Amino acid sequence: MIQLKKIDKYYDAKFQRTFVLKGVNLDIEQGEFISIMGPSGSGKSTLLNIIGFLDEPSQGEYLFLGDPANKLKEKQKVQYHRSHIGFIFQAFHLIEELNVYENIETPLVYRGVKGKERKALVADMLDRFNIVAKKDLFPSQLSGGQQQLVAIARAIIGKPKLLLADEPTGNLHSEQGEMIMKLLKKLNDEGMTIIQVTHSKENAEYGDRIITLKDGYVREK
């Protein structure tokens, strides 16, 4: 599904070039559950962003479903975002103007899902994450963990084929974290390809493979 070949990512400052990713090669098959680990600043989020078409590599080739990403038309990317890819951001990125219910609903709106069906799906999510009571609150009125739950619900409600999860359980109580990991595992079993970034060894074990990033290089175990 995903093939990264000699991917470089660097930022040019005035006099020097800082590499974030260096010669990254990675093959991910449909249905895999990958865990990415590595110290802060090692480029984990950057890698996820490249995979999710939110950022572009400086060098190297990225094939998504066999097509080179840099040749993809804007329209095609939009289509992938609508139907294939779901994000859980490290910084949540909930929409301030929308309440919990509406935040979760938004991807479905862009997908063109009918109102009735949306209602059922969102209700199901609220129920599953135990946040029915919070559905009318706005992000600024939620705790950090609650925001994360909403962000997760929003990412998986559309049943994307590829879920990119950047520290999905970072702000959660361990029991809740376990619940989320089990949920992700279940979704993976149902066929969803998942790439997660985590700092926890325990959570990383849920994946089929663990990839470690260090100073921009990939080391696979």
Partner 1 sequence: MLRFHLKMIKRNFLKDKKFLFNNILGLTLAFTAILFIYSWITYEKSFDKFYENSSRIHRFTVEFADAGSSRHFARVNTSWIKEFPGFFPEVEEMVRLVPGRNSSLKINNNKFYSQGVFSTDSNFFNAFNVKLIQGNANAVLDAPKCAVINQSIAKKYFGNENPIGKQIDWAHQQVPDFSTFTVTGIMPDFPKNSHFHPEILLSLDDPSQFAQWNYLYLLLKENTKPEAIQAKFSSFKNTYIEDEKSRESLVFHLQNVQDIHLYSHKDREIELNGDVRSITVLSIVAIVLLVVITLNYINFQIASVLERNTYFNVSKTFGAKRKSFVAQLALESVILIFISSIVSLGIYMLALPVVANWLNIDLILSTQTTLVIYLLALLFFVFLGVGCSIYPVFMSKMNGTISSLRIFNSGKSTSTDFSVRRVLVILQFVGGIGLIIATTVIIKQNQYLLSSRIGNEQDNIINLIKLPRKAIDNYEILKTELLKYPEILDVTATMEEPAGEVMDAFSYELEGMPEEDKDKVIYVLTTDDNFNRFYGNEIVAGEDFSENGDNTTKYLINEAGLKFFGYTNPNEIIGKRFKYNIPLPEKFFKEGYIAGVINDFHISTMQSSEKPMLLYNQPFFNYCVGIKYDPKRTSDVLVTLQNAWTKVNPDFALQHHFIDDLYFKLYKNQIRQSRFLILLAVVVLFISSLGLFSIAVYGIRKRTKEIGIRKVNGAKTGEVIVLLNQTFVKWVIISFVIAAPIAWFAMNKWLESFAYKTEISWWIFVGAGLFIFAIALITVSQQSFKAARRNPVEALRYE
Ligand X SMILES: Nc1ncnc2c1ncn2[C@@H]1O[C@H](COP(=O)(O)OP(=O)(O)OP(=O)(O)O)[C@@H](O)[C@H]1O
Residues that bind ligand X (CB under 6 A): 11, 20, 38, 40-46, 90
**Interface residues for partner 1 in 155-184 (CB under 8 A)?**
158
The answer to whether residue 12 forms part of the interface with partner 1 (CB under 8 A) is: no
Q: How far is CA 104 from CA 13, 41, 121, in A?
A: 38, 29, 9
Residues 6+ apart with CB under 8 A from 9: 19, 20, 21, 43, 46, 50, 55, 57, 58, 59, 216
Instruction: Determine contact, residues 2/84, Cβ cutoff 8 Å.
Output: no
Instruction: Determine contact, residues 26/4, Cβ cutoff 8 Å.
Output: yes
Q: How many CA atoms lie within 13 A of 40 on its CB side?
A: 1
The answer to whether residue 35 forms part of the interface with Mg ion (CB under 5 A) is: no
The answer to whether residue 203 forms part of the interface with Mg ion (CB under 5 A) is: no
The answer to whether residue 143 forms part of the interface with partner 1 (CB under 8 A) is: yes
- Report the residue number, 16 or 140, with the smaller CB distance to partner 1: 140
**Which range, of 106-114, 123-131, 185-193, 194-202, touches partner 1 by CB under 8 A?**
106-114
Instruction: Determine contact, residues 206/184, Cβ cutoff 8 Å.
Output: yes
By C-alpha distance, which of 158, 156, 181 is closest to 170? Answer: 181
Q: Least CB distance from residue 89 to ligand X, whole Å?
A: 11
Residue from 70, 79, 130, 174 that binds partner 1 (CB under 8 A)?
Answer: 79
- Report the residue number, 46 or 148, with the smaller CB distance to ligand X: 46
Binding site for partner 1 (CB under 8 A): 49, 52-56, 78-83, 85, 87, 89, 91, 93-98, 102, 106-107, 109-111, 140, 143-144, 147, 158
